[in-house]
Amino acid sequence: MSLSVQKKKILIVVMDGLGDRGCKELGGLTPLQATDTPNLDWFTRNGIAGTCDTVDIGIRPGSDTSHLSILGYDPLEVYTGRGPFEAAGIGLIGRYGDVAFRCNFSTCDSDLNITDRRAGRINKPDTTELIKALEGMRIDGIEAVIKEGTEHRAALILRGAGLSPDVTDVDSHDLGPLSWSKGETPEAKFTAEVLNKFVNETYKRLKDHPVNKKRAANGLLPANIIVPRGAGSFPNIQPFPEKYNMKAACVAGVGMIKGICGVCGLDVIDLPEDCTGGSDSNFVSKAKAALKVLEKYDFVLMNVKAPDVAGHDSDPMLKCGVIKRLDEMAGYLKDNFREDLVIVFTADHSTPCSLGDHSGDPVPITVYTPGNVKDDAVTFSESGCAHGRIGRIRGKYIVPMCMDLADRTEKYGA
């Protein structure tokens, strides 16, 4: 007899860069081992635990490849580089086949020699006005969509038939003449030609723009040209909601994480202002936002960036403090737990303080839902979770595992 069981919702809490190695300052313990985490331990004690290689054993994941894995995609199959995710991070979400570029607002002379790569570190509101002059461009049948990022940064998408990402940068990464884009294949040659025409057109439209005239009058450098680099194709990704038949959203502060989730078809939810994406972010406020989003969605990925920042800063004491506050966040989620929820606490990768960068050390993972199996893991840490029955898994198995615990999986066979 198969009971009619209510499907559960899924919340994955990604504590960015949480894993670590032994820290001298902590007597050889990791920040997680050294910090009392009663709430994370509660989830571990009452749930199942394990360790996770988000991409694979020994691979040092970036935030992009690891989040793809956590969303159930194998980056070794779908990853095409960071460019598309950065474009998506500022809201420029392309489709499979689109080619994305990172761009700078720059300053050039009338021979198009670059005199300042960042146009005097131009910022909003000037960029917002200037970008409007570049909208709706169409070159040789190709649509050019541009959007401003932070400060002098922008992203560009070329969209249309016959494009290739195998083109060189227009950005010479130096002052002086531009290194006009080139390609080898017919598609790449065409793409380079369109890209070069786009750059020329930005100069035409920006050089006498009122914003630049005003900047000149104020002794500021004009932003009179857009210079692209870092071509990358949008990956061929089956949208998450279609792949898993769940309405899905992400709650994150960092642009690239929002970009990855956006490219995977998750709705990117605006955050309360106190969720900054930095060490000062209000984690409880973010957890509250995630629970609110779960009222309307089946699946939420929530990213908290702060532990990664502490790891990159090589600051074990800061990381311990962040962990203490993450545990308070876990306490909020425990106290406000919805019974129809499968919750996951894990990290996208380790960022050991002794390294100041990502490492391939596996990260702890704990999964809890009412009525699941309790295993013998009792503490949430790199070592404590290793006692659990999840064992050592790859990140791409997290969603399938949760789908089953959420009773959203069809039987395979009879």
**Binding to its own copies in span 70-89, by CB under 8 A:** 75, 79, 82, 85
Q: Which of residues 109-168 bind its own copies (CB under 8 A)?
A: none
Phi, psi for residue 80 in degrees, rounded to 5: -125, 15
Q: Which C-beta is closer to its own copies: that of 39 or that of 54?
A: 54
CB of 181 to its own copies, least distance (A): 22
Q: Which of 404, 319, 398 is nearest to 54 (CA)?
A: 398
Q: Which C-beta is closer to its own copies: that of 318 or that of 329?
A: 318
Contact 237, 396 (CB under 8 A): no
d(CA 326, CA 323): 5
d(CA 203, CA 196): 11
CA dihedral over 32, 33, 38, 39, signed as positive or negative: positive
Half-sphere exposure of 125 (CA within 13 A, CB side): 2
Q: Which C-beta is closer to its own copies: that of 216 or that of 373?
A: 373
Among 13, 35, 44, 61, binds its own copies (CB under 8 A): 61
22 binds its own copies (CB under 8 A): yes
Task: Supply the Cα-derived Rg of the chain in whole angstroms.
Answer: 23
Q: Which C-beta is closer to its own copies: that of 59 or that of 119?
A: 59
Region of 72 please: left (phi>0), alpha (psi -120 to 50) or beta. left
Among 7, 25, 60, 197, binds its own copies (CB under 8 A): 60
Q: Which of residues 349-378 bind its own copies (CB under 8 A)?
A: 354-362, 371-376
1 binds its own copies (CB under 8 A): yes
Residues linked to residue 227 through DSSP beta bridges, in sequence order? 104
Q: Which of residues 220-279 bind its own copies (CB under 8 A)?
A: 256
Q: Which of 246, 167, 157, 149 is nearest to 198 (CA)?
A: 157
Q: Which of residues 275-314 bind its own copies (CB under 8 A)?
A: 312-314
d(CA 102, CA 154): 6
CB of 413 to its own copies, least distance (A): 3
CB of 399 to its own copies, least distance (A): 8
Q: Which amino acid is at 29?
A: L
Q: Give the position of tokens 């922008």.
A: 154
Q: Which of residues 372-411 bind its own copies (CB under 8 A)?
A: 372-376, 382-393, 397, 399-405, 407, 409-411
| SS3 letters across 375-396 | CCCCCCCCCHHHHCCCEEEEHH
Burial 171-206 (b: 16+ CB within 10 A, else e): bbeeeeebebbbbeeebbbbbbbbbbebbeebeebb
Q: Which C-beta is closer to its own copies: that of 62 or that of 183?
A: 62
30 binds its own copies (CB under 8 A): yes
Among 10, 12, 18, 29, binds its own copies (CB under 8 A): 29
Q: Which C-beta is closer to its own copies: that of 154 or that of 199?
A: 154
Count of residues engaged in binding its own copies, rule: CB under 8 A = 76
Q: Which C-beta is closer to its own copies: that of 125 or that of 371?
A: 371
Among 57, 110, 174, 273, binds its own copies (CB under 8 A): 57
Per-residue mark of binding to its own copies, 31-50 (x: CB under 8 A): --x-----------------
CB of 102 to its own copies, least distance (A): 11
Q: Which C-beta is closer to its own copies: that of 215 or that of 408?
A: 408
Q: Which C-beta is closer to its own copies: that of 111 or that of 410?
A: 410
Helix (H) or strand (E) holding 304, with range, is strand 299-304
